[in-house]
Chain A
Amino acid sequence: AQSVTQLGSHVSVSEGALVLLRCNYSSSVPPYLFWYVQYPNQGLQLLLKYTSAATLVKGINGFEAEFKKSETSFHLTKPSAHMSDAAEYFCAVTEGGGKLIFGQGTELSVKP
């Protein structure tokens, strides 16, 4: 069965610092992996997705993620945090499309 584990329910960084949000997955077949962002009182916005093409995926707002099969990881990074990046981030997995399984979410805080 598919599952996603996000390490750290809350991450705090300073503005301009590196953002690293961790995601590990479990899947019996090659997965499709996604990162979504949720701003307060809003819906889910797709940041980026991995669907078996390039292992380094670039998304919106300067975020990127690297699929590492050997580590079953899909960590999200951004070189320089901005105040507007403060939000909840969800990693999700699906096997070949369709139903998404979400991780617990990581709340990112950005300090001035």
Chain B
Amino acid sequence: EPEVTQTPSHQVTQMGQEVILRCVPISNHLYFYWYRQILGQKVEFLVSFYNNEISEKSEIFDDQFSVERPDGSNFTLKIRSTKLEDSAMYFCASAYPGELFFGEGSRLTVL
């Protein structure tokens, strides 16, 4: 069964460092998303991406964040200069459109 895969599963970084989280969406899907879940809190929408551009972003998705789909398969989330409050689980999702399929998540720990 097709699935969304995310790497790394867990990353520990120092505050101020750049982090790239990678996602491989389901191959025929056209819509891509990043969500964030801070420990013990709800899952929050960060950004949606369609037709090689951001279609919507939340207030959380500030200038420190960027997304790209560099090679037609990977979908990446970059955090330019990490802060302590960026520590969270980051979920990638893709859709054909329709139902969103989520990856297992990447846990980011900022020290």
Q: Which residues on A are within 8 Å of B, measured CB to CB?
A: 36, 42-46, 49, 90, 92, 97-105
Residues of B within 8 A of A105 (CB): 42-43
Contact A98 B31 (CB under 8 A): yes
Contact A100 B105 (CB under 8 A): no
Mark interface residues in B86-108 (1 if CB within 8 Å of A CB, else 0): 00000101010111101111000
Asked if B65 is an interface residue, CB under 8 A from chain A, the answer is no
In whole Å, how far is A8's beta carbon from the nearest beta carbon of chain B? 14
Question: Which label, helix, strand, loop or mixed, suits the secondary structure of the B interface?
Answer: strand
In whole Å, how far is B27's beta carbon from the nearest beta carbon of chain A? 19
In whole Å, how far is B61's beta carbon from the nearest beta carbon of chain A? 12
Residues of B within 8 A of A49 (CB): 99
In whole Å, how far is B25's beta carbon from the nearest beta carbon of chain A? 14
- Tell me which residues from 21 to 50 in chain B have a Cβ below 8 Å from any Cβ of chain A: 31, 33, 35, 41-45, 48
Residues of A within 8 A of B31 (CB): 98
In whole Å, how far is A63's beta carbon from the nearest beta carbon of chain B? 17
Tell me the bound Cα distance from A17 to B33 in angstroms.
37
Contact B104 A97 (CB under 8 A): no
Residues of A within 8 A of B99 (CB): 46, 49
- Tell me which residues from 58 to 111 in chain B have a Cβ below 8 Å from any Cβ of chain A: 91, 93, 95, 97-100, 102-105
Q: A99-B45, A100-B45 given as contacts; is B104 within 8 A of A43 (CB)?
A: yes
Mark interface residues in B47-58 (1 if CB within 8 Å of A CB, else 0): 010000000100
Residues of A within 8 A of B104 (CB): 42-43
Residues of B within 8 A of A45 (CB): 102
Tell me the bound Cα distance from A64 to B95 in angstroms.
23
Nearest to A42 among chain B residues (CB) is B104
Since A44-B91, A100-B93, A102-B43 are in contact, a sample of 8 more A-B pairs with Cβ atoms closer than 8 Å, ordered by chain A residue number, is A42-B105, A92-B43, A97-B95, A98-B31, A99-B45, A102-B35, A104-B41, A105-B43
Residues of B within 8 A of A101 (CB): 45
